[in-house]
Amino acid sequence: MTFKNDLILRAARGEKVERTPVWLMRQAGRILPEYREVRAKMGGFKELVETPEFACEVTIQPVDILGVDAAIIFSDILVIPEAMGLPYQMVEAKGPWFEKTIKVAADVANMRIAQADDLHYVMDAIRLTKKELAGRVPLIGFAGAPWTIFAYMIEGSGSKTFSKAKRFLYTQPELAHQLLQKITDSTIHYLKGQVLAGADMLQLFDSWAGVLSPEQYNEFALKYISQICDAIKDVPFTVFAKDAHFARKQMGMLSCDTIGLDWTTDIEESRALIGNTKTLQGNMDPCLLYADYSKIKLETQKMLKAFGPHRHIANLGHGLYPDLDKDKVKYFVDTVKEFRF
Ligand code: CP3
């Protein structure tokens, strides 16, 4: 496939780029009035995710409106628990909610290993989006990392502490490993399916990495992330583990191309810990985008200089917040695109 703009793929592979590529986690969503319009036409978030035409439309919106260097397929990490046997609901203004959760051995035994076909609506959305993008920018596919998916399957909703999920690790570690392995196998099928459908690169989101100790992170998270990295060969692969500063050195040893960083980590220190064989992605604090334009420009340029001209993909350190001003978000993107070393 030939792209009009393949900066992000080249940066991920460590090749030379004319400028730093940029995209934003949660770039499709509530900061765009155009998204809210499409969303209002639908019964709810899930219907949007499950209808390829609409998922495609909102996936492409940030490419048109913000000018980002990649699209990310509009979906959610929670489609995997659903495909395994735990359906989720997205409760307006509250977030995800699962009617059933995992408590005992029989619950784990009842979980099926998902196949790519179970998520045919995501594959259809990817195929359609690839066609509509027509090579303008690459399309990113994604999944949740096993620990984060496990945390939702035990907890049944978001949580500040994920104490139920952590209790499970301390009280039923073997059962936890069984479930984590089933999630890992499902995720590998799902990601391979996304590549077959046309995804040009992939990202794994470990949003709740930060509630685990370094030792637990090795045992219950990195072990499975590493299996997934090893299974994906054909496209650049990014691992983003939020608040996993303690695991940066081990993440440098994963067989992936890019490591995502949040804003709590020092850039030079991260480079030293992770090494020169990986691309780094991130890591602006999304709250910078509440500041005035001159401050946004100053801090963005400071970030670009700290990462340097090679092996960097500019992004925020986590997803955009829904109340951010679209013009300021676009200003961040433009500041990156105008900068030259
Ligand atoms: O980045 C993108 O633009 C692609 C789409 C995307 C969504 N969710 C759409 C979404 C991606 C990559 C995700 C991943 C996701 N989902 C993560 C990992 C990344 C992260 O933020 O840490 C997690 C933890 C989830 C689970 C989830 N989905 C939560 C906790 C919530 C509720 C909180 C919120 O922001 O509303 C969601 C809902 C969700 N996923 C929305 C969107 C656009 C908002 C729902 C709406 O439009 O009403």
Query: Rounded to the nearest whole angstrom, what is the distance from the C-alpha of residue 276 to the centroid of ligand 1?
Result: 31
**Is the residue at 1 inside a domain?**
no
The tens-digit pLDDT sequence of the chain (341 residues) is 899 999 999 999 999 999 999 999 999 999 999 999 999 998 899 999 999 999 999 999 999 999 999 999 999 999 999 999 999 999 988 999 999 999 999 999 999 999 999 999 999 999 999 999 999 999 999 999 999 999 999 999 999 999 999 999 999 999 999 999 999 999 999 999 999 999 999 999 999 999 999 999 999 999 999 999 999 999 999 999 999 999 999 999 999 999 999 999 999 999 999 999 999 999 999 999 999 999 999 999 999 999 999 999 999 999 999 999 999 999 999 999 999 99
**Is the residue at 129 inside a domain?**
yes
**Is the residue at 102 inside a domain?**
yes
**Cβ atoms within 10 Å, residue 223:** 16
> Which pTM does this prediction carry?
0.97
Instruction: Find out whether the beta carbon of 81 lies less than 6 Å from any atom of ligand 1.
Output: no
Determine the Cα–Cα distance for residues 147 and 127; give it in Å rounded to an integer. Answer: 28
Q: Whose CA is nearest to atom 42 of ligand 1?
A: 29
pLDDT of residue 288: 98
Half-sphere exposure of residue 177: CA atoms within 13 angstroms, side-chain side: 7
- The per-type count for the chain, helices as H runs and strands as E runs, is 16, 9
**Is the residue at 265 inside a domain?**
yes
Number of domains in the chain: 1
pLDDT of residue 266: 98
Q: Residue 96 sits in a domain of what CATH number? A: 3.20.20.210
Instruction: Find out whether the beta carbon of 236 lies less than 6 Å from any atom of ligand 1.
Output: no
pLDDT of residue 1: 81
**Is the residue at 2 inside a domain?**
no
Q: Whole domain around residue 232: which residue ranges?
A: 7-338
**Is the residue at 258 inside a domain?**
yes
Instruction: Find out whether the beta carbon of 88 lies less than 6 Å from any atom of ligand 1.
Output: no
